[in-house]
């Protein structure tokens, strides 16, 4: 049926210290915050006396790229400023002088425009493009509806107001930070993740472990000489999902620091499924605001302050699905703030690192390419940002030093946790003791030096980090379809090593690396790609382990719409690292894109495969992957022919897969492992890769095969989808039912 439909369409035939008591979290309900209630026009006005209006452009049909084109007109008010966010080069444009828009909206993504309106009133109206037409809405209607939604055919625009009550520059004296002069020290705590372990349905063992280390980290702050001017917790103050009881317990715990302490929001301060609509819905932060207000009198998510000659910015990272598309004005505030203080060296605190650290969860469970790119552009625009300090990873000390990078004059350092135990980076740390502790920054005039001290009083000084070359790792700051594309595959025989192939940044151990990506020679002297992956070493209790699948290379080829790719190659499963029942293996992952929208998603693999290879940043919900089985006897080179669009149409659950206009084709070769357990390893070789494009009329003329044998669909029992459990503080993968995620 899918084939017939397709052919027809294209025209082809204190509250925290309850020792010994188990209290139910329901006893600690969310504390309502009324600061963001809108009861009339005046409640909309920003600190500058303007109304901020957000227009989110999208498409309602998962199969359609929708174009919006036209002018924005304001009546009964004046347009002071416009700003676009998450626009993509060559597909989206805004002329601010008009202003006029030309936007292509993709299902699953949102293009955002913000308007700053002066001299407005409830009668102020906004006319804006929706698809090929236009619509008009008044400020009064926006207040009434909170989200005013307009749909023309498949084009959708949501119009909402924005607020800035939780944004601003603070006077450090208001939170007890006295002027220290031009020489001072401050301390940083990343990821305490503590709370009240007895205020949940089950006693939180890992929280008890974190709490013990937090107390030691507090001791380090208090023992720091000279006395720190301030201490800051850069996200994940609490474990869990922002429960009031955990905030109460952490307020009590962190109040034991004898220096002024600041809070920053991370991903554990809100519920995982928090949403920030309709309107400007900030209820997800109610408990955070209540705790912050009680702790130091503040009520901010995004704020900055000056101390000595330096400027400090505290950047929020809740890491929730629609936060940035509903809070785009944060980027503009940051840009303005850095311009205002361009004569001061600056330090930005953020929870989620914007630089790569080389393990899988920090590609998937991190900010999107669009957010990272926009933030980096702003941070590097004035040349005054000197450091960006982050947490989130629970990184060991050695990995913290090795992954630190400089980028356009900025030093990016990811800090070990103050409470949480480290993730598995595969090698022993600088010492055998705990990694938990605090960072200490020494400021002398306009010079800053950073050190780290563990809870066992071992101190390290950070060397100057190596430069990060985004040209060598283009997938960190570009979507695959944005990578410069040639009209033909290059270096498919790997004679030029890995030239033209792009690799993800993968953390590499000093000895016995768990990932190898290199070219080797066959016995006949021919070059081939060799990929090896095993569970990371140094398997010690408390080292979080989650699957690895980022040891892969990619090449993106420009494709003419109305064509299909056909691929021939040879592959080999290394028998030295093959155990049939292992949760590990090799894969070939092929993707087709139309502009910025993924249209085709298919994986060919041996044995078990990680179903969610690309993670949340790969449009996984837009186009579910099709998995086919190329399991073959190890030790023998196999001839593989692939007609991926034919296979995708044959097996996809999408009833209307639109592949006829794809203009970019991505080839990925990779290996993966569960990353825990006995001999979880895999290795494979790939060679003689060739690619040709034929007219789409030839779609069904050839079938994919391995040595002439038809390639079957992968049985679901070989599709690995993992959940996570937390025994005594570790993250461990558990197999879950794939169907509930589809």
Residue with tokens 């009668």: 123
How much is the average pLDDT of 213-242? 97
pLDDT above 80 (res 542): no
Average pLDDT, the chain: 91
* Predicted local distance difference test score (pLDDT) of residue 255: 97
Task: Please tell me whether residue 367 adopts helix, strand or coil conformation.
Answer: coil
Residue with tokens 């034991």: 256
* Predicted local distance difference test score (pLDDT) of residue 612: 87
Can you tell me the distance from the alpha carbon of 213 to that of 211, in angstroms, rounded to the nearest whole number?
Answer: 5
* Predicted local distance difference test score (pLDDT) of residue 11: 41
Structural domains in the chain? 41-162 (no CATH), 167-467 (3.60.21.10), 480-741 (2.60.120.260)
Give the tens place of pLDDT for each residue, 471-518.
888 999 999 999 978 999 999 999 999 999 999 999 999 999 999 999
pLDDT above 70 (res 677): yes
3-state secondary structure 200-255: CCCCCHHHHHHHHHHHHHHHHHHHCCCCCCCEEEECCCECCCCCHHHHHHHHHHHC
> By percentage, how much of the chain surpasses pLDDT 70?
94
* Predicted local distance difference test score (pLDDT) of residue 14: 31
Give the tens place of pLDDT for each residue, 440-464.
999 999 999 999 999 999 999 999 9
* Predicted local distance difference test score (pLDDT) of residue 97: 85
More reliable by pLDDT, 8 or 186: 186
* Predicted local distance difference test score (pLDDT) of residue 469: 86
Give the tens place of pLDDT for each residue, 40-64.
999 999 999 999 999 999 998 878 8
Confidence of residue 15 (pLDDT cuts 50, 70, 90): very low
How much is the average pLDDT of 601-611? 95
Q: Which residues, at least 6 apart from 202, have a Cβ–Cβ distance to it below 8 Å?
A: none
> Is 644 within 8 Å of 559 (Cβ atoms)?
no
Can you tell me the distance from the alpha carbon of 730 to that of 541, in angstroms, rounded to the nearest whole number?
Answer: 8
Give the tens place of pLDDT for each residue, 283-325.
999 999 999 999 999 999 999 999 999 999 999 999 998 999 9
Maximum Cα interatomic distance, the chain, rounded to a whole number of Å: 80
How much is the pTM? 0.94
How much is the average pLDDT of 598-624? 90
Can you tell me the distance from the alpha carbon of 658 to that of 216, in angstroms, rounded to the nearest whole number?
Answer: 57
Pairing of strands 626-629, 310-315: unpaired
| Token duo for residue 723 | 């959940």
Q: Which residues, at least 6 apart from 346, have a Cβ–Cβ distance to it below 8 Å?
A: 310, 311, 312, 313, 338, 384, 385, 386
Q: For the chain, give me the number of helices (H) and strands (E)?
A: 11, 42
pLDDT above 70 (res 742): no
Closest CA to 626 of 690, 719, 507: 719
pLDDT above 70 (res 28): no
> CA angle, 417 as apex, 416 and 422 as ends, to 5°?
75
Can you tell me the distance from the alpha carbon of 170 to that of 158, in angstroms, rounded to the nearest whole number?
Answer: 33
Can you tell me the distance from the alpha carbon of 390 to that of 439, in angstroms, rounded to the nearest whole number?
Answer: 11
DSSP string, 149-178: EEEETTEEEEEEEE--TTEEE--GGGGT--
How much is the average pLDDT of 390-415? 97
pLDDT above 50 (res 10): no
Q: Which residues, at least 6 apart from 155, have a Cβ–Cβ distance to it below 8 Å?
A: 57, 59, 60, 66, 67, 68, 105, 130, 131, 132
pLDDT above 90 (res 140): yes
Confidence of residue 729 (pLDDT cuts 50, 70, 90): low
* Predicted local distance difference test score (pLDDT) of residue 13: 35
pLDDT above 80 (res 12): no
């Amino acid at each position: 049926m899918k084939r017939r439909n397709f052919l027809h369409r294209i025209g082809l035939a204190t509250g925290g210290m309850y020792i010994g008591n188990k209290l139910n979290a329901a006893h600690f309900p969310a504390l309502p915050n009324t600061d963001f209630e809108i009861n009339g026009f005046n409640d909309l006005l920003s600190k500058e006396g303007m109304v901020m209006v957000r227009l989110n452009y999208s498409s309602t049909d998962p199969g359609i790229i929708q174009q919006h084109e036209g002018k924005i007109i304001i009546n009964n008010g004046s347009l002071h400023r416009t700003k676009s966010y998450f626009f993509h080069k060559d597909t989206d444009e805004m002329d601010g002088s008009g202003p006029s828009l030309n936007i292509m909206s993709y299902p699953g993504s949102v293009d955002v425009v913000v308007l700053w309106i002066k001299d407005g009133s409830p009668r102020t109206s906004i006319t804006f493009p929706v698809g090929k037409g236009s619509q008009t809405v008044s400020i009064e209607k926006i207040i009434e509806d909170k989200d005013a939604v307009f749909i023309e055919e498949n084009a959708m625009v949501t119009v909402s107001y924005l607020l800035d009550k939780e944004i601003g520059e603070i006077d450090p004296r208001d939170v007890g930070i006295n002027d220290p002069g031009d020489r001072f020290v401050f301390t940083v705590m990343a990821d305490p993740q503590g709370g009240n372990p007895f205020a949940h349905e089950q006693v939180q063992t890992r929280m008890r472990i974190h709490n013990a280390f937090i107390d030691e980290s507090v001791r380090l702050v208090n023992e720091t000489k000279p006395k720190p001017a301030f201490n800051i917790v850069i996200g994940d103050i609490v474990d869990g999902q922002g429960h009031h009881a955990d905030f109460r317990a952490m307020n009590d715990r962190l109040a034991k620091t004898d220096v002024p302490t600041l809070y920053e929001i991370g991903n554990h301060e809100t519920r995982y499924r928090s949403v920030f609509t309709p309107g400007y819905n900030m209820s997800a932060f109610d408990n955070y605001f209540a705790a912050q207000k009680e702790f130091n009198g503040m009520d901010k998510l995004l704020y900055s302050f000056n101390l000595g000659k330096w400027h400090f910015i505290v950047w929020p990272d809740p890491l929730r699905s629609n936060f940035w598309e509903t809070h785009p004005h944060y980027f503009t505030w940051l840009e303005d703030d850095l311009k205002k203080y361009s004569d001061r060296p600056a330090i930005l605190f953020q929870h989620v690192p914007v630089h790569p650290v080389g393990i899988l969860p920090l590609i998937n469970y991190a900010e999107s390419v669009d957010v990272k790119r926009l933030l980096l552009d702003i941070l590097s625009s004035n040349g005054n940002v000197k450091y960006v300090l982050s947490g989130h990873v629970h990184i060991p000390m050695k990995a913290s030093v090795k992954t630190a990078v400089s980028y356009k004059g900025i030093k990016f350092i990811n800090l070990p946790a103050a409470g949480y135990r480290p993730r598995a980076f595969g090698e022993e740390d600088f010492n055998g003791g705990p990694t938990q502790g605090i960072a200490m920054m020494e400021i002398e005039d306009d010079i800053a030096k950073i050190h780290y001290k563990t809870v066992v009083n071992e101190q390290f000084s950070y060397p100057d980090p190596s430069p990060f070359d985004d040209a060598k790792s283009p997938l960190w700051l570009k979507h695959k379809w944005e990578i410069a594309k040639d009209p033909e595959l290059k270096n498919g025989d790997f004679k030029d090593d890995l030239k033209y192939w792009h690799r993800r940044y993968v953390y590499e151990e000093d000895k016995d690396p768990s990932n190898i990506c290199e070219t080797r020679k066959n016995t006949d002297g021919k070059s081939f790609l060799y990929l090896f992956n095993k569970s990371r070493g140094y398997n010690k209790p408390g080292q979080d382990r989650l699957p690895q699948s980022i040891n892969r290379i990619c090449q993106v080829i420009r494709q003419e719409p109305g064509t299909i790719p056909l691929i021939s190659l040879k592959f080999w499963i290394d028998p030295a690292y093959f155990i049939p029942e292992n949760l590990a293996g090799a894969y070939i992952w092929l993707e087709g894109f139309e502009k910025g929208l993924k249209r085709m998603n298919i994986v060919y693999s041996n044995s078990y495969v990680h179903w969610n290879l690309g993670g949340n940043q790969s449009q996984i919900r837009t186009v579910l992957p099709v998995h086919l089985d190329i399991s073959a006897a190890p030790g023998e080179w196999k001839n593989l022919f692939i007609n991926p669009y034919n296979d995708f149409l044959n097996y996809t659950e999408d009833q209307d897969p639109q592949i006829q206009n794809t203009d970019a084709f991505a080839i990925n070769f990779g290996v993966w492992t569960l990353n825990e357990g006995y001999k979880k390893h895999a290795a494979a070789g790939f060679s003689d890769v060739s690619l040709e494009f034929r007219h789409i009329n030839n779609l069904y003329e050839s079938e994919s095969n391995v040595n002439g044998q038809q390639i079957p669909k992968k049985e679901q029992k070989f599709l690995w989808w993992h959940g996570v459990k937390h025994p005594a503080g570790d993250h461990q993968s558990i197999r879950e039912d794939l169907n509930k995620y589809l």
